[in-house]
């Protein structure tokens, strides 16, 4: 009888903690949309990601470096995916953003990654994807902004 009571209390405790954790997760917010054709010398900034290189609408070579800061919750195993997508939303390149800092935080953490694009040049979007090893759709998030692949 006591064992059933202990198991019930442990299960209820786990349910309450998981429920509180899911409530505390912020919902994805859309990234700011720049004016088409506009250029900027400012970093790309969203609620969860700041990209200092490359800048929005910047021309980049087929192999380029991405640098900035992201909230620790975007990382899993100190990394998260990077993609380059053409105007038809086809994945034409990618890489991995990594940090050497402590990523187990809700604060911003510095990252850097190398992106490679093969067999494509022209307008594209750089997409930064929150690493989501759980596969749960409610934990997915991403931001993107335009670049031009040389």
Domains and CATH numbers, the chain: 32-149 (2.60.40)
pLDDT at 113: 98
Query: What pLDDT score does 42 carry?
Result: 79
pLDDT of residue 31: 42
- pLDDT score recorded for residue 130: 98
Rounded to 5 degrees, φ, ψ at 101 are -85, 170
Predicted TM-score of the model (pTM): 0.73
C-beta separation of 103 from 110 below 8 A = no
Strand partners, 60: 149
Integer Cα distance of 69 and 38 in angstroms: 23
Q: From first to last of its 150 residues, what are the pLDDT tens digits of the chain?
A: 675 655 555 555 555 554 544 444 444 444 444 444 455 567 999 999 999 999 999 999 999 999 999 999 999 999 999 999 999 999 999 999 999 999 999 999 999 999 999 999 999 999 999 999 999 999 999 999 999 999
Q: 86 phi and psi, to 5 degrees? A: -75, 175
């Amino acid at each position: 009888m006591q064992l059933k009571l202990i198991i019930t209390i442990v299960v209820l405790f786990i349910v309450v903690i998981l429920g509180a954790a899911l409530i505390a997760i912020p919902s994805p917010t859309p990234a700011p949309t720049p004016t088409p054709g506009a250029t900027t010398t400012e970093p790309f900034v969203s609620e969860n990601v700041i990209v200092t290189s490359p800048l929005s609408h910047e021309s980049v070579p087929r192999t380029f470096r991405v640098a900035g800061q992201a909230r620790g919750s975007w990382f899993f195993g100190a990394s998260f995916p990077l993609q380059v997508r053409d105007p038809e939303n086809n994945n034409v390149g990618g890489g991995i953003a990594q940090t050497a800092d402590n990523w187990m935080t809700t604060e911003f953490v510095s990252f850097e990654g190398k992106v490679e694009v093969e067999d494509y040049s022209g307008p594209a979007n750089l997409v930064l994807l929150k690493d989501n090893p759980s596969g749960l759709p409610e934990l997915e998030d991403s931001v993107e902004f335009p670049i031009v692949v040389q």
